[in-house]
């Protein structure tokens, strides 16, 4: 039952991304053509506020609601993986118009061909798992 809070946060996240239209292929095109500030405003304001909030949480040594230390789970810098993987991801993002979150939100909106993209993404994850040891990181 406790896990239902994540379902609730997911609903909030899905609804808000849908209403901000950041799940739109056309908004992603606007962004990569630098024709609109919208996407930059959404991501930029989320990050700037995020930086401020995390600094405060860390300074206060804020605990989770369960009383544990917050796990910020810092991901290490791996230049090759970050850059090459990131470039692959960007190619897919601009083509599909959706990153992983929006893929599922669009499915919920009834865009069923997106299931093919989701299947492709699962295959991509599978192939990464199979080839990880042979790729530069």
Partner 1 sequence: MINPMPWYLAGPLITFVMISMLLLGKRFGISSNLDTLCASTGIGSKISYFNIDWKKNTWNLLFVLGTILGGTLSVTVFDTGYGKISPATIKKLNSIGFSEQKNSLLPVELYGEAATSFSGLILLLIAGFLVGFGARYAGGCTSGHAISGLSNLQAGSLVSVIGFFIGGLLMTHLILPILL
Q: Which of residues 88-117 bind partner 1 (CB under 8 A)?
A: 88-101, 103-111, 113-114, 116-117
Q: Which two tokens stand for residue 87?
A: 């470039």
SS3 labels along 27-53:
HHHHHHCCCCCHHHHHHHHHHHHHHHH
Burial string for 98-137 (b: 16+ CB within 10 Å, else e) reads beeebbbbbbeeeeeebeebbeebeeeeeeeeeeeeeeee
Asked if 134 is part of the footprint of partner 1 (rule: CB under 8 A), the reply reads: no
Q: How far is the CB of 61 from partner 1 (least distance, A)?
A: 13
**Of 59 and 75, which has the nearer Cβ to partner 1?**
75
Q: Can you say how many angstroms the Cα of residue 8 is from the centroid of all Cα atoms in its chain?
A: 18
Q: How far is the CB of 59 from partner 1 (least distance, A)?
A: 14
The 11-50 contact track toward partner 1, x by CB under 8 A, reads: xxxxxxxxxxxxxxxxxxxxxxx-xxxxxxxxxxxxx-xx
Of residues 48-77, those binding partner 1 (CB under 8 A): 49-51, 53-54, 57, 62, 64-66, 68, 70-77
For partner 1 (CB under 8 A), the number of binding residues is 114
Q: How far is the CB of 115 from partner 1 (least distance, A)?
A: 9
> Across-strand partners of 69?
63
Asked if 85 is part of the footprint of partner 1 (rule: CB under 8 A), the reply reads: yes
Q: How far is the CB of 12 from partner 1 (least distance, A)?
A: 6
Instruction: Please check whether residue 107 is in contact with residue 101, taking contact to mean a CB–CB distance below 8 angstroms.
Output: no
């Amino acid at each position: 039952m406790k896990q239902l809070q994540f379902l609730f946060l997911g609903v909030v996240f899905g609804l808000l991304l849908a209403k901000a239209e950041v799940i739109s292929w056309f908004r992603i095109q606007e962004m990569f053509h630098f024709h609109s500030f919208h996407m930059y405003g959404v991501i930029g304001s989320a990050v700037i506020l995020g930086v401020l909030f995390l600094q405060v949480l860390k300074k206060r040594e804020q605990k989770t609601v369960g009383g544990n230390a917050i796990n910020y789970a810092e991901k290490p810098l791996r230049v090759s993986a970050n850059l090459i993987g990131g470039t692959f991801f960007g190619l897919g993002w601009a083509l599909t118009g959706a990153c992983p979150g929006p893929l599922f939100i669009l499915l919920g909106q009834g865009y069923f061909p997106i299931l093919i993209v989701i299947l492709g993404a699962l295959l991509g994850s599978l192939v990464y798992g199979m080839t990880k040891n042979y790729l530069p990181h």
